[in-house]
Structure 1
Amino acid sequence: MLILLPPSEGKTAPHRGAPLDLAGLSSPVLTDVRERVLGALVALSSGNPTEAATVLGLGSSQLDLLERNALLRDAPTARADRVYTGVLYDALDAATLSPAPKRRAGARVAVVSSLFGMVRLGDRIPAYRLSGDVTLPGLGPVAGVWREALGPAVTEALGRGLLVDLRSTMYVAFWRPDRDLAARTATVRVLHESGGTRKVVSHFNKATKGRIVRALLEDGRDPRTPAALAEVLRDLGWAVEVGEPTAKGTQLDVVVSQL
């Protein structure tokens, strides 16, 4: 099983640690593209601050993030699960997993990243600012840059297991499974039900996904089909509805009534 997560917009900048080593990251098949994206981001952030802020979607109070980006090659790094923050990662709380679930997290969880394509929770990365909808000068839309490169990396990391896709809409655009892989892909949507009405609420969605990942890691089972994953989630206490298989995978709706 491979669980794909979105990155967080906010990140905790490491105060100390070895500088970034692209060759030391997992999925070395992505190294060349990582170097291109990193070079374009550093060059942009080192240039005209007004232009860079506009391209990166930064407000006047966020210009310190340009300096952080400009120094990425020498910035201290930490494990990705300590750099990425926010509702999903707080709910996952990888640092407090016991040894066996923590080992599973290293083997079964990956984060789709605008800068690095895909990283494992144990990969050492710096804090950076690069949203998935940015178009980098000289390189083009970040999503388009990764679209072709990510396929081999995900396929290699997945092996013959089930792909559990928890990415947000922005990062789904980075790569989509082909028809063959879609047969063993489960996409998860969290719906908040209140007063007979269901809707997607960002906070519920992120927090529940983080809890789902943690529960799957603690449980330890390795379902091989979307239907089997749904059964595991039901055993773990969630209400799950299974959609029809499509060319993009099988959607599982997790219905929650409270946070």
Structure 2
Amino acid sequence: MLVLLPPSEGKAPSGGDGGPLELGSLSLPELGDAREVVLGELVALCQGDEEKARDVLGLSAGLVGEVGKNARLHDAPTRPAGEVYTGVLYDALGLGSLDGVAKRRASRSLLIFSGLWGAVRIGDRIPSYRCSMGVRLPGLGALGAYWRGAMAGVLPGVAGDGLVLDLRSAAYAAAWKPKGEVAGRTVTVRVLHAPTRKVVSHFNKATKGRIVRSLMTAEGGEPGGPAELVDALRGLGYGVEVDVPGKAGAPWRVDVLVDDLH
């Protein structure tokens, strides 16, 4: 099973016990050249005109310190990506409290998309940074479009022949869209407030984090395909509605229904 996650805008504060970034040590080494280009563009932007960098990155005046942080990425200390990403989804997922078996499953299954790195595993050591997939870097344009070519050549192999659970937001889904046979075993998930059938952003993220945690800690084998995932979610107590694709090579869509918005 491969679980595709968005990152979080919020990151753990700079610092960590790791040395500076080593691009060659990151998972998915085929993305190395593209990562080096994006990193170089981002650092150059943030070492130049601060106001321009803040505008390009979409930062408020209160986040101007993020520009300086990006300017020092080559020398900044690193920590595992699973510790760098914070926020609602990751708080609910609670990677730090997983036991050994669940942590190994998460290390193998989770793939976090990133405007800067393309995608990383939770154990990859990275510095804290600020650069969303929606950013348009000078010289590169929109990062979602930039990453698409590199991802298309790498992600089908990473997906293997198992289930792909896609929990990304739209901006990060733009970087790779499963196609063909891989798409046919991909499931996208929405979390809806059951009485209104509306998406509630904060609770959407929290529920997705809980779903991933439930799958990582569940006893027995991992779901092998979309139908098995639906059974697993129902077995874990989630209310589920399924939109089964009408043609081969199309992803399944699953709506998880919740009553409680806390």
Q: Name the TM-score class by shorter chain.
A: over 0.9
Aligned mates of 1:152, 1:185 — CA distance in 2? 17
Deviation at 1:179, TM superposition (A): 2.3
Distance (Å, rounded) in 2 between the aligned partners of 1:138 and 1:172: 22
SS state at 1:73 partner: coil
Q: Distance in 2 between matches of 1:129 and 1:191?
A: 29
Q: Secondary structure at the match of 1:227?
A: helix
Deviation at 1:248, TM superposition (A): 4.5
| Aligned-pair Cα RMSD in Å | 1.1
Residue matched to 2:93 = 92
Instruction: Map 1:41-190; keep pairs closer than 5 Å.
Output: 41-190=42-191
**C-alpha deviation, 1:163, in angstroms:** 0.4
Question: For 1:197 and 1:163, how far apart are their aligned partners in 2?
Answer: 28
Paired residue type of 2:227: A
- Quote the Cα distance in structure 2 between the aligned partners of 1:156 and 1:123: 19
Distance 1:6 1:132 in 2: 10
Residue identity matched to 1:117 = G
Instruction: Describe the superposition over 1:66-86 as per-residue Cα deviations: whole angstroms up to 9, x where unpaired.
Output: 110000011001011110000
Partner in structure 1 of residue 205 of structure 2: 206
After superposition, what is the alpha-carbon deviation per residue over 1:228-250, rounded to whole angstroms, capped at 9, x for unaligned? Answer: 10000100110111102265510
Provide the rounded CA distance (Å) in 2 between the counterparts of 1:228 and 1:215: 14
Aligned-partner Cα distance in 2 for 1:198–1:181: 29
Distance 1:113 1:12 in 2: 15
User: Which segments of 5 or more consecutive residues in structure 1 lack a partner in the other structure?
Assistant: none
Aligned position for 1:250: 252
Instruction: Say whether the 8 Å CA contact 2:156–2:178 is kept in structure 1.
Output: no
- Taking the aligned partners of 2:19 and 2:108, their CA distance within structure 1 comes to 23
| SS of residue in 2 equivalent to 1:237 | coil
Does structure 1 conserve the Cα–Cα contact (< 8 Å) formed by 2:189 and 2:254?
yes
Deviation string 1:47-77 (CA, Å, 9 cap, x unpaired) is 0111111111111111111110000011001
TM-score, structure 2 as length reference = 0.95
Q: Which runs of 5+ in 2 are unaligned?
A: none
* Compared CA separation, residues 14 and 53, structure 1 to 2 (3 A): closer
- Please tell me whether the aligned partners of residues 159 and 182 of structure 2 are also in contact (alpha carbons under 8 angstroms): no
The verdict on how the C-alpha distance between 1:248 and 1:71 changes in structure 2, with shifts beyond 3 A counting, is: farther
The answer to whether the 8 A contact 1:13-1:126 is kept is no
Shift of 1:13: 2.6
Between the aligned residues of both structures, percent identity stands at: 52
